[in-house]
Structure 1
Amino acid sequence: MGSILKEADRAEISRRMRSLSGASDRRWGTLDVTGMLQHLRLSANMTLGELSLPSANKRAFQRFPLKHLILYVFPFPKGAPTAPGLKPGAATSFEEERAALLVLLERTGTGPSEGSGPAHPLFGPLTWREWGVVTYKHADHHLKQFGA
């Protein structure tokens, strides 16, 4: 399982992000490539505890086995709903969003790897190891959305 905490996995995600351009077309969904980068940047802010979102109060997603299956077994589904606080806002620059996201992913990947991290709005309390997996998996999902 990939993890943003693993240097090789982080380098792979970074390489794939750098392969995108402002003209990259989506294969599914409604986000354009800049909106996707902004969405991932907001998610990375949440991972680092710099953006707090209210709980979705879906307790089933916070318990074994569903939490484990979503984090480690099933791929992220296309068209899954996005937390309102992670939806892109005003139009921004592709290059600025990508650069900011790459910095945040590096900070996440070189930060703590043990112990508890911030709570996730759907999954509740996550360890840093779980955050590493979900961050990698989320980025991978959206990079595939844009063919990277």
Structure 2
Amino acid sequence: MKTIFDKPTRDELIARMNTLNEHSTPEWGKMTAYQMVKHCTQWEQMIAGEIPCKRSFIGRIFGKMALKDFMKADKPIMRNAPTAPELKVTETNGDIAAQKVKWIALFEKNAQSSTRYFVHPFFGKMTREQIGCLAYRHIDHHLRQFNS
């Protein structure tokens, strides 16, 4: 399974990130390109511990089991998957170029991090290896959403 801790994989994702612009349109969902880039930036901030997210009740019940299945699957995340309320972006327009710079910097920083675990709002406690795979799948999901 691909992971952000692999340099060629990071380079591939960054090249895809750089294809996004204010004219990019989604294949599904309601987000604008700016909202998606900002959402992904906030996701990186959550991974870095800069944005706290509450564990969901349903995640406390099914999170560990779902994570086990999620980590086995090597397919894209389903369309219109739910997101943590803290990571929903309401403003529809902004400086996408500046937001991409911030996103890529946080992405690179997190990929270099030696953090051993993270508590995801749905999946719960995750290892570094699980974080790397989930981060790849999350970014890939949104880049596919915008044909990038």
Instruction: Describe the superposition over 1:72-129 as per-residue Cα deviations: whole angstroms up to 9, x where unpaired.
Output: 405311011121100114342101110100000000111116x32x210001011111
Structure 1 Cα separation of the partners of residues 130 and 94 of structure 2: 30
Distance verdict in 2 for CA 1:25–1:86, change over 3 Å: same
More deviation, 55-64/11-20: 55-64
RMSD: 1.4
Post-superposition offset of 1:59 = 2.9
1:83 maps to a residue whose letter is A
Paired with 1:41 and 1:61, the residues of 2 have a C-alpha distance of: 26
> Tell me, which stretches of 5 or more residues in structure 2 are unaligned?
none
Asked if 1:132 is matched to 2:136, the reply is: no
C-alpha displacement at 1:60, in angstroms? 4.2
Q: CA deviation at 1:49?
A: 1.0
Give the letter for the 2:80 counterpart. Answer: G
The separation in 2 between residues aligned to 1:35 and 1:25, in whole angstroms, is 11
Name the count of aligned residue pairs: 145
Q: Structure 1-normalised TM-score? A: 0.91
Give the Cα–Cα distance (whole angstroms) in 2 for the partners of residues 2 and 26 of structure 1: 24
Identity, in percent, stands at 28
CA distance, structure 1, for counterparts of residue 111 and residue 33 of structure 2: 23
CA contact (8 A) 1:5 1:108 kept: no
Q: What aligned pairs does 1:7-46 form with structure 2 within 5 A after superposition?
A: 7-46=7-46
Letter in 1 for 2:82: P
- Which TM-score applies when normalising by structure 2? 0.91
| Residue in structure 1 matched with residue 96 of structure 2 by the alignment | 94
Provide the secondary structure at the position in 2 that maps to 1:51: coil
Aligned runs of 1:104-143 on 2, under 5 Å?
104-112=106-114, 115-116=116-117, 118-143=118-143
Distance 1:34 1:84 in 2: 17
Aligned to 1:75: 76
Q: Mind listing any 5+ residue stretches in structure 1 that lack a counterpart?
A: none
